[in-house]
Chains A and B, each alone.
Chain A
Amino acid sequence: MVILLDFTLTNEKKLFQKTVREFCEKEIKPIASKIDKEEYFPTDLYKKMGKMGLMGMTVPQKYGGAGIDRISYMIALEEISRVCGSTGITVEAHNSLGLGHIYEKGTEKQRKKYLPTLTSGRAIAAWALTEPNAGSDASATQTTAVLDGNEWVINGTKQFITSGDIADVTTVMAMTDKSKGAKGISAFIVEKDTPGFKVGQLEDKLGLRGSHTAELVFDNCRIPKENLLGELGMGFVGAMNILDRGRTAIGAMSVGIARGAFEDALEYAKQRQQFGKPIGKNQAIQWMLADMATEIDAARLLVYRAAYLEDQNVRFTKEASMAKLFASEIAMRTTVKAIQIYGGNGYMREYPLERYYRDIKLCTIGEGTSEVQRMIIARQLGL
């Protein structure tokens, strides 16, 4: 019998889920509020996550990764983001973008040099595409890289770079041939403390405050010729491939944050008594929770479908954008409703609801705004 669709997780994936959930409850949840309020970056936590296999999830074990498939990666990201969005985005940017680009496009030599430390969680990877004048239109990149003898000389400024200030290794997209536009962009590996590379302004953000976001300044930064990542002029295409993967992951992160808010609201609706009965007995509250549960399930299915296609090595650009668009938008609605159910308490920083509400906003912006996702989907529809 051919099974066309199977909505059941395998026992192995269920065990992944249960294990990551336990890890998050024990190691992340108790410090999630501190991470947010104090913009605290728990270095030890990332080492522990490295040991668990969470810092190189889809990278093969021969490079120190866990070697799990994309769906399992989504499961783990959902669990992490459920308790802490800041940790979720740090893990996502590290796995999907920084580390992901080196693994996907790197030579064997580059993989062996960088991946083992990054997968162990002892080092963090960042990925620098965005610039003050080049956001979603990455082809407008102004940062340049010029070959001078055996070295590339990088000049320019990158902004809004997740973990940019703490990363040990950063993948930087720079223009190597301006006359070719997007096809003149190449990717480079820049190590921390390279002369001419410095961290500029640290951003003061609405949410995800435990995740560091930095400006990176390159002023005649010289890196070895062999630090070119992928083929010359293929940096933009490579970055777009990496972003497709990242978008599915932002979808999973959104599902996680939405679930965190939903679960809290559901529990509260059962406990909170008004007019002699739990507020969850009121239809107004029931409808909110029913919608939240339905939308979270639908979003998760879209995320799993995109991840499934990634695992099958078939094109998934449209599906990744759909997953990110839908998941981040419904997660916005979910966190708003969760606060509404909590009433006055939901507005207070004592409870995590306001954190979910601030954290989720990034998911409708980062790695392509909702509008850009709609643009990509429309293009894929032949428009």
Chain B
Amino acid sequence: MNIIVCAKQVVDVSEMKIDSATKKPILQGVPQKISDIDKNAMEEAIKIKEKHGGKITVLTVGPANAKERIKELLAMGADEGLLVTAPENIDYHMTATLLAEAIKKIGGYNIILCGEASIDMFSGQIGPRLAANLKIPQITYAQSVTAEKDKITADRNMGEQMIITESTYPVLVTVTKEINVPRLPSLMQILASANKPINEITADSLTKNLNPLVQTIDLKGVSMERKNVVYKDDIDESVKQLVNNLAKEGVLRG
């Protein structure tokens, strides 16, 4: 079973601060990491490989320093990495096109695994766009998967209902973070990952004249205003008022 895991390097949003005056995110000095849900995709790939054998390739579109993040996934259990170096802040269309072109080069795959979305932009577009570009079936929001020799079955978490979906190979699956707990590599695996290959190709070598369809005009943090209502009266009366107000706001539903 040959598996391609698509992983994105993102800023560690938990370490990110918003400039209170401009509302712009302060990105300087914020550490980079692999988008959390992509690690779930990686973990699932390792589990499938443990059962069926095969090879796991990690594919990333990003800046040159993303190589260090690929090493983390190699330490976890991937066999090799491919980094498509591209300018930062390209749009979803460009990313999905580059991923598709790179995958055509890699070839010979059964499953492509992606996180349902990246933790920075959370558009959830890359998986579906990539499947469309490659003209292969897709299963999104998989909360559990069972890979068999000729087919894969997945429980899709659709919020209020669970849809069980089955597909033959090749297939693209996007996973949710509930699917597993990503393993930590051992110190031995980290040492061994130094000998695993990471190939690098430029976006230009894959496709020419790739232009964005969406332009990001500005990026600002969301500020949440609190109502700061304080209930000071008698405790029973205050509880009553609080419940009434919450109900009025639609927070509580009977």
Contacts and interface: CB of A to CB of B under 8 A. Distances in A.
A23 B184 contact: yes
A52 B72 CA distance: 15
Contact of A53 (B71, B72, B187, B194): B187
Contacts of B222: none
B121 interface: no
Contact of A66 (B72, B187, B194): B187
Contacts of B187: 16, 19-20, 52-54, 57, 66, 68, 72, 76
B134 interface: no
Interface string A44-86: 0000000111100100010000111000100010000000000
A350 interface: no
A61 B190 CA distance: 13
Interface string A1-29: 00000000001100110011011001000
Contacts of A68: 187, 191
Interface in B174-223: 184-188, 190-191, 194
A53 B187 CA distance: 5
B66 interface: no
Contacts, number: 41
A115 B184 CA distance: 24
Contacts of B185: 19
Interface string B44-83: 0000000000000000000000001001100100000000
Nearest to A22: B184
Contact of A67 (B68, B184, B188, B194): B188
Contacts of B72: 15
Nearest to B181: A26
A312 B186 CA distance: 25
A12 B190 contact: yes
Nearest to A76: B187
A276 B72 CA distance: 44
Contacts of B71: 11, 15
A65 to B, nearest CB: 9
A236 B79 CA distance: 47
B190 A51 contact: no
Interface residues of B, number: 12
The residue in A22, A23, A26, A53 that gathers the most chain B C-beta atoms within 10 A of its C-beta is: A53
A53 B191 CA distance: 11
A372 to B, nearest CB: 32
Contacts of A20: 187
Contacts of A11: 68, 71
Contacts of B184: 19, 22-23, 26, 52
B190 A15 contact: yes
Contacts of A26: 184
A72 B186 CA distance: 13
B188 A66 contact: yes
Contacts of A66: 186-188, 191
The residue in A22, A52, A57 that gathers the most chain B C-beta atoms within 10 A of its C-beta is: A52
A342 to B, nearest CB: 24
A57 B191 CA distance: 12
Contacts of A57: 187
A12 B186 contact: no
Nearest to A72: B187
Interface of B: 68, 71-72, 75, 184-188, 190-191, 194
6 contacts: A12-B191, A15-B190, A16-B187, A52-B184, A53-B187, A57-B187
Given A11-B68, A53-B186, A67-B191, 16 more contacts: A12-B191, A12-B194, A15-B71, A15-B190, A16-B190, A19-B75, A19-B185, A23-B184, A26-B184, A52-B184, A52-B186, A53-B188, A54-B187, A66-B188, A68-B191, A72-B187
